[in-house]
Structure 1
């Protein structure tokens, strides 16, 4: 018999939560349900200020730090205790949906606002954070805001430029931040005790299981590469095939090879994607001289991912030699798989049984989240909300508000337990 997941009672305010999600979706709206709010853009700034106003309405002390993070703080009874951080992000992909990241920020805000309305006093300070540039699509390097407060930025990150040649430093200044004062926004070691994040699944498991929420067990480790292939341009009508140094042909073969490597074991959860390719000079009758392409490789098994990475590098060498082209590889992101804290998961399990009278599914996350960076300094836990057909990073991304409310209620019950520790 199929289990019906209906909460025995709800504490959070569904109408307020839904209204805020829908209102935020109007900022940077594309198509009927899509969103484009690139990090540090004017749309991002408008959205940050909107959420800042809601945080202040909820009674939180707010600030926008020099990384572009929006932070709402609620002081606990004992401020000497390591704080509990709850949140996600509100920046989007250029062709994104309205729930990715957003439910984690507005759900967290709903949790603390409900707690305050109920007269709950947390033992330790709670911060709701909308992290800057989780997506990484504008400057090809994600998790900027969360890594920033953890003092984990890499050399040259402020010099990265977007497609229009605007550097991250310039974008931060335009946003109202001071890149020369970033050190003042870094959290002292040990200040953050735990991190909780609510997010849509961005995959099909909960939807196919017909379950509204799930508990995350860990996050796959992403490897992001940028591959530049250098060939030689020539007339498409006169250069014999055997004489060509076609960068695009080599890039195409690398793409197929990557797909083959990722599907060698059909039972493994390995995923690999070439999501972006730039061709120069990009003319119909000129042999492509240069290609820049991105490679995204993820796996929950670090050893398996490293084996595929090694095989890929070897294949790229062979392919480029065969096509008489040269190449360089830049590592943009490289993270190990990170597993959720068992103690936090136990509180989530207990809360789920209290809500539904039964357990909920537990699953790994393929996409990375702000929690991935947080996991390097503190225990973390995540809750997933079902999304229709597992579609995300697409305007068709869809989640039921009833499901989002159940996920927020589970987050509320978990925060109550963790804030009292």
Structure 2
């Protein structure tokens, strides 16, 4: 476990810590660290040690967030919250999520070792869940802080039949205290997250950093296509009601529409075939459809067009189709004053930057219900994410740390929603 690391090379220090965090993973390519799993539990002491080096007091809250508070935050001063998530997708990369935990911790530690202090109270949160891989829910940790988490999600089960409540108790959390995690908006100055871009824009433009203007809206549907099973060798091809053939046509049509509808992206990421025998005509197929856009009107219009097309294919092929919404989150804007604060911090550190929106969802989607949000992007090689080959450069990492250090020293004397750079009257 890392207890002390020389900070003469901030970029390499950050990379080393992220490498160490990535070792807390299930076997296999990349990083697989599921929410409230054994790897998550084992990671907590390491992150807690980094919090203490940064001058923070760590605490595991009711839903598995590891929260580090500085003395001023512990004393009740309104705090700036920074953070990101600890969990990963299956066989993901080492920077998605953990970058936004480790970078502000390192920035705080570097300030501390220089004898400097942030200009406001600070909390850093390593959120327990964002990816929504293990349980039928997502943004559990950030929704809890925002006070919008439905307690019913605690009864959701993973594929082993373990409820979220049980998993949290095994992690060492106390989900019976869920209500206590909700924050008072008057005691929160704002929320800032650092994240890899997960796209190619910054790399294509030769920029290390970008400032996010909005987080995309996301909706996920579960589509069930029902046909009729039969013997694959004795049932004539004509007249078959093959659910897989129909679903295949739907997948192709959905992909075609997503490619041509303006301002919309999406994917069909899971597909389950029943009965799944080599010599039986598939009777049922269930697949997921995810649609994203920062523009709510475009997302809703795209959804209507895609679902109507899928229903048309089902009718043509004599199949039945049903759909349900599993998840929906509206796109949210970043606060202009936080955009300006991040841009000015980049400028002060000699970093050119640009504004761009995020095509991925983040904990900011939930935190927006609590407070103003801001987000800093770090370029990643090839725009690749959710993949073992996810990569960033040490020099970009150092630039990010120094920007956050600069930001933390200038955030105290401000009044929302006035420009962060206006002095108090």
Are residue 88 (structure 1) and residue 81 (structure 2) matched? no
Match among 142, 145, 152 for residue 138 of structure 2: 142
Count residues in correspondence: 408
C-alpha change, 1:175 and 1:231, in structure 2 (3 Å) is farther
The SS at the match of 2:120 is coil
Shift of residue 280, structure 1, vs aligned partner: 1.7
For residue 309 of structure 1, what is the aligned residue in structure 2?
303
Structure 2 segments unaligned to the other structure (5+ residues):
1-6, 415-425
For residue 261 of structure 1, what is the aligned residue in structure 2?
257
For residue 24 of structure 2, what is the aligned residue in structure 1?
27
- If the length of structure 2 is used for normalisation, what is the TM-score? 0.90
The 5 A counterparts of 1:89-168 are 89-154=85-150, 156-168=152-164
For residue 229 of structure 1, what is the aligned residue in structure 2?
225
Deviations 1:207-257 (CA, angstroms, capped at 9, x unpaired): 111211111111111111122223332211222234333222232222122
Shift of residue 98, structure 1, vs aligned partner: 0.6
Are residue 291 (structure 1) and residue 288 (structure 2) matched? no
For residue 10 of structure 2, what is the aligned residue in structure 1?
13
Q: Distance in 2 between matches of 1:346 and 1:409?
A: 17
For residue 404 of structure 1, what is the aligned residue in structure 2?
397
Q: Distance in 1 between matches of 2:208 and 2:106?
A: 19
Are residue 334 (structure 1) and residue 331 (structure 2) matched? no
The SS at the match of 1:393 is coil
- If the length of structure 1 is used for normalisation, what is the TM-score? 0.91
How much is the aligned-residue C-alpha RMSD, in angstroms?
2.2
Deviations 1:319-363 (CA, angstroms, capped at 9, x unpaired): 22333333332222212221111111112222222211x631211
The 5 A counterparts of 1:57-72 are 57-72=53-68
Shift of residue 81, structure 1, vs aligned partner: 4.3
The 5 A counterparts of 1:380-395 are 380-395=373-388
The 5 A counterparts of 1:182-197 are 182-197=178-193
Deviates more, 1:71-80 or 1:140-149: 71-80
Shift of residue 194, structure 1, vs aligned partner: 0.2
The SS at the match of 1:263 is helix
Deviations 1:338-390 (CA, angstroms, capped at 9, x unpaired): 1111111112222222211x631211110011112112221111111110101
Shift of residue 77, structure 1, vs aligned partner: 7.9
Match among 36, 43, 48 for residue 40 of structure 1: 36
Structure 1 segments unaligned to the other structure (5+ residues):
1-9
